[in-house]
């Protein structure tokens, strides 16, 4: 059996935890999903908007959980104490299981005082920046990062439990879906270096303004005590605000900081670059990825790493689900459906417009969600941008795209629009031709990846997507 990450005895020092000990001394992993429980795990029962994890405690125990973390408010309604006693396992009772999960992750991370902890946040580019930085730094340092988009109030703490004593650098992306979330994640990590990629309109519907977004993202520096480093983009409109009052060393970064980096050409297969005069084949398409590369280089500069690590790292980056993936078959699909906002839509449209292509260019565009009061204006601008694009055929999907459709009608641009996914599938089956280049772009809530099977019937998804 794997060595315990933490002993249950350590929870006796938590003043807000009541413990009912069982047979096992500690736990070897942590999960909030009973279907992913491994023998020896700690199952944390969270109370969600849709599901209550306390319903699945017995399933977690049956799967081999060593212990259960449950909310005091649920003890009686689910008869949890008797259930856990029956299995002879440890029960940890907390007032708030989410906050206790975060606190447990924080204490676990403190077991590794020599780990250089790096946090990345921002409105866009967080995940790609993290992947590039880890690819570069990982050439010379034993590096760990949170996988995929495990960057939330639950995802990041769960990722922390993957840290081991051999790791030298930890790179953690911090996302947000509500006010206060970045501060909570910073409290878990206590980063030595924290980078903000940019301040944009993503999640503006939650916080109300870009100024409020900047304020939230700035909380990534909230645990600084004077010795840490804040990396802030020099060209961001909120640069002065982000720099103000940071209790640590502030370092600005931008394209001009890295004269060694040169863009040679752009193509659908990725970017051809030079680093210090030597060629580099960067596998992600889109000139906008230069910004993500520069952000990653700003982090790597602080380690530091060699030029050889930069070159090898840039060439080793792997595309991630829903982020400008290139999928090939009878048609070529650019699947950029993890998220969408005005800035990212402009970036991907500009790239697709610039690609040389013998066949038709087909743009399948879903709604941009979570934009709040600016949604109507943003979708009007979407219509204007599509009208000026080099698309031969345009499909719109989602309620919010009605405003974009009105613009296309006024410009006499042919297009198809629907709010039904099945209808969109049927449209694509009818109108897509072999040899087309198809951009699929939309917010995560639109689930645009569901179109992959229609566009590429023989496509075999990787990683369960």
Q: What is the pLDDT of residues 263-295, one digit of tens each?
A: 999 899 899 999 999 999 999 998 999 999 999
Q: Are residues 61 and 137 in the same domain?
A: no
Q: Are residues 377 and 340 in the same domain?
A: yes
Is 419 or 372 the better-scoring residue by pLDDT? 419
Whether pLDDT at 150 is above 90: no
47 vs 32, 82, 99, 237, 453, CA distance in Å? 10, 20, 12, 38, 34
Predicted local confidence at residue 463, as pLDDT = 43
**pLDDT digits 0-9 by tens, 20-57:** 999 999 999 999 999 999 999 999 999 988 889 999 99
Whether pLDDT at 106 is above 70: yes
Q: Is residue 465 part of a domain?
A: no
Q: State how far the Cα of 266 lies from the Cα of 57, in Å rounded to an integer.
A: 52
Q: Is residue 138 part of a domain?
A: yes
Q: Are residues 154 and 210 in the same domain?
A: yes
Range of the domain at 371: 325-455
Q: Calculate the average pLDDT of the chain.
A: 93
Q: Are residues 290 and 405 in the same domain?
A: no
Whether pLDDT at 461 is above 60: no
Predicted local confidence at residue 236, as pLDDT = 95
Name the β-bridge partners of 272. 265, 281
**pLDDT digits 0-9 by tens, 294-329:** 999 999 999 999 999 999 999 999 888 888 899 999
Phi, psi of 159 (to 5 degrees): -65, -35
The domain that contains 275 carries what CATH number?
Answer: 3.40.1190.10
**pLDDT digits 0-9 by tens, 247-267:** 999 999 999 999 999 999 989
Residues whose CB falls within 8 Å of the CB of residue 376, separated by 6 or more in sequence, listed in order:
403
Residue 465 banded pLDDT, cuts 50, 70, 90: very low
In angstroms, the first-to-last Cα distance of the chain is 31
Residue after which a domain boundary falls, among 316, 339, 366: 316
Is 177 or 118 the better-scoring residue by pLDDT? 118
Predicted local confidence at residue 457, as pLDDT = 87
The domain that contains 336 carries what CATH number?
Answer: 3.90.190.20
Whether pLDDT at 464 is above 60: no
Q: Where are the alpha helices (DSSP H) in 304-341?
A: 307-316
Predicted local confidence at residue 460, as pLDDT = 56
Q: Where are the alpha helices (DSSP H) in 110-175?
A: 126-137, 155-160
Q: Is residue 464 part of a domain?
A: no
Q: Are residues 388 and 438 in the same domain?
A: yes
**pLDDT digits 0-9 by tens, 433-451:** 999 999 999 999 999 999 9
Asked if 215 contacts 199 with a C-beta cutoff of 8 angstroms, the reply is no
Count of the separate structural domains present in the chain: 3
Q: Is residue 103 part of a domain?
A: no
Q: Are residues 132 and 60 in the same domain?
A: no
Q: Are residues 132 and 247 in the same domain?
A: yes
Question: Element (H or E) spanning 212, and its range?
Answer: helix 210-218
Predicted local confidence at residue 355, as pLDDT = 92
Q: Are residues 402 and 287 in the same domain?
A: no
At 436, list the tokens: 């087309």
**pLDDT digits 0-9 by tens, 393-411:** 999 999 999 999 999 999 9
How much of the chain, in percent, has pLDDT values that exceed 70? 98
Asked if 191 contacts 109 with a C-beta cutoff of 8 angstroms, the reply is no
Q: Is residue 47 part of a domain?
A: yes
Q: Are residues 219 and 279 in the same domain?
A: yes
Q: Would you say the C-alpha torsion 247, 125, 172, 270 has a positive or negative sign?
A: negative
Q: State how far the Cα of 100 lies from the Cα of 17, in Å rounded to an integer.
A: 8
Q: Is residue 105 part of a domain?
A: no
The domain that contains 72 carries what CATH number?
Answer: 3.40.1390.10
Is 220 or 208 the better-scoring residue by pLDDT? 220
Q: State how far the Cα of 129 lies from the Cα of 50, in Å rounded to an integer.
A: 32
Q: Are residues 245 and 348 in the same domain?
A: no
> Among 51-65, 333-347, 409-423, 450-464, which stretch is predicted with the lowest mean pLDDT?
450-464
How much of the chain, in percent, has pLDDT values that exceed 90? 83
Q: Is residue 25 part of a domain?
A: yes
Residue 47 is given by DSSP the state B
Predicted local confidence at residue 65, as pLDDT = 96
Predicted local confidence at residue 289, as pLDDT = 93
Q: State how far the Cα of 329 lies from the Cα of 22, in Å rounded to an integer.
A: 55
């Amino acid at each position: 059996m794997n060595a315990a990450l933490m002993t249950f005895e350590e929870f006796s020092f938590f003043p807000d935890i009541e413990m009912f000990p069982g047979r096992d001394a500690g736990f070897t992993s942590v999960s909030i999903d009973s279907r992913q429980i491994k023998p020896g795990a700690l199952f944390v029962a969270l109370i969600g908007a849709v599901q209550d994890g306390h319903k699945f405690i017995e399933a977690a125990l049956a799967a081999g959980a060593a212990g259960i973390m449950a909310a005091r408010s649920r003890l009686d309604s689910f008869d949890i104490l008797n259930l856990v006693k029956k299995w002879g396992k440890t029960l940890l009772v907390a007032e708030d299981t989410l906050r206790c999960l975060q606190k447990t992750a924080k204490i676990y991370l403190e077991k590794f005082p020599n780990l250089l902890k790096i946090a990345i946040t921002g409105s866009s580019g967080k995940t790609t920046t993290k992947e590039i930085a880890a690819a570069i730094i990982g050439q010379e340092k034993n590096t760990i990062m949170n996988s995929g988009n495990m960057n939330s109030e639950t995802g990041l703490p769960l990722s922390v439990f993957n840290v081991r004593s051999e790791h030298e650098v930890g790179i953690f992306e911090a996302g947000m879906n509500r006010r206060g979330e970045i501060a909570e994640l910073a409290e878990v990590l206590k980063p030595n270096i924290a980078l903000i990629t940019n301040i944009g309109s993503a999640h503006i519907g939650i916080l109300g303004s870009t100024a409020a977004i900047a304020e939230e993202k700035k909380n990534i520096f909230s645990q600084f005590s004077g010795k840490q480093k804040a990396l802030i983009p020099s060209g961001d409109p909120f640069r002065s605000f982000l720099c103000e009052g940071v209790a640590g060393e502030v370092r600005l970064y931008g394209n001009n900081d890295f004269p060694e980096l040169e863009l040679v050409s752009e193509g659908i297969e990725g970017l051809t670059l030079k680093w210090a005069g030597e060629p580099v084949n960067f596998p992600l398409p889109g000139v906008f990825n230069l910004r993500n590369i520069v952000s990653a280089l700003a982090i790597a500069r602080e380690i530091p790493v060699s030029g050889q690590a930069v070159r090898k790292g840039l060439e080793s980056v792997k595309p991630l689900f829903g982020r400008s993936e290139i999928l090939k078959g009878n048609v070529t699909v650019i699947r950029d459906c993890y998220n969408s906002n005005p800035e990212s839509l402009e970036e991907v449209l500009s790239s697709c417009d610039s690609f040389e292509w013998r066949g038709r260019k087909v743009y399948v565009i879903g709604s941009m969600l979570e934009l709040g009061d600016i949604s109507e204006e943003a979708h009007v601008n979407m219509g204007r941008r599509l009208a000026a694009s080099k698309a031969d055929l345009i499909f719109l999907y989602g309620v919010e795209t009605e405003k974009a459709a009105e613009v296309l009608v006024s410009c006499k641009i042919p297009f198809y629009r629907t709010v039904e996914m099945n209808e969109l599938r049927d449209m694509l089956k009818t109108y897509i031709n072999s040899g087309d280049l198809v951009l699929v772009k939309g917010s995560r809530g639109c689930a645009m990846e569901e179109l992959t099977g229609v566009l590429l019937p023989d496509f075999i998804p990787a990683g369960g997507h």
